[in-house]
A = this chain, B = another copy of it.
Amino acid sequence: MAEDRRTRRSRRALGAALVELVLERGFTALTVEDITERADVARATFYAHFRDKEDLFARVTADLLTELGERLAPAVADSAVGFTGKPVLEMLRHAREERDLYRIVLRGEGDGKPLQMFVDACARATAEEFRARAERNAVKPRIDPELLARVWVGEQLAVLRWWVEQDAPSLPAEEVVRMLLDLAMRGRYWASGFEPPA
């Protein structure tokens, strides 16, 4: 008796309706009635489950993040060196499956706070990872790790966003990850086709 079937049905329908509609018209343009209508649910029922539409949105994205976290955990444990390998690949795969939701979140829809939080968390973790790695290998960073972390996160995010927004994905996930790895190792100058400088 974990949960009443009706409850589950309503919640699911409302979540799905939200995603559809945000994609069609954008979050701010939506009214609660739009959502309940699409979900084929009474407006009163909406308020029985969620405080307002931002609440619904918050829960939907929170679920997505939890799911992502669960899928990422083993990949992170595997890849001792850093994040750029398996974890990113795993994220791209997740993004492929949940494409609609990823698009919405990455567009910063719904005041964009879930996205900001996620980015900041990533950036902090990454900066820490960079520092730890430098320590471990007894090397001195040539660039402020804080800045470097922002660059890294911004980069991954930009690629993810671009990849998810394409109508027909021009590159498979594996290919994208390979390019990102090359880029990290050898720099953008090399990537453009030039020989590395002296």
Contact = CB atoms under 8 A, between A and B. Distances in A.
A154 to B, nearest CB: 2
A159 B170 contact: no
A147 interface: yes
A151 interface: yes
Interface in A81-107: 107
A118 B162 CA distance: 14
A47 interface: no
Nearest to A158: B154
A173 to B, nearest CB: 12
A108 to B, nearest CB: 4
A149 B108 CA distance: 21
Contact of A155 (B28, B146, B158, B161): B158
Nearest to A197: B185
A134 B28 contact: no
Given A116-B107, A142-B191, A147 B159 contact: yes
17 contacts: A27-B111, A108-B115, A112-B112, A142-B182, A142-B190, A146-B170, A147-B176, A148-B183, A148-B188, A148-B191, A150-B159, A155-B155, A183-B187, A184-B187, A185-B196, A185-B197, A186-B197
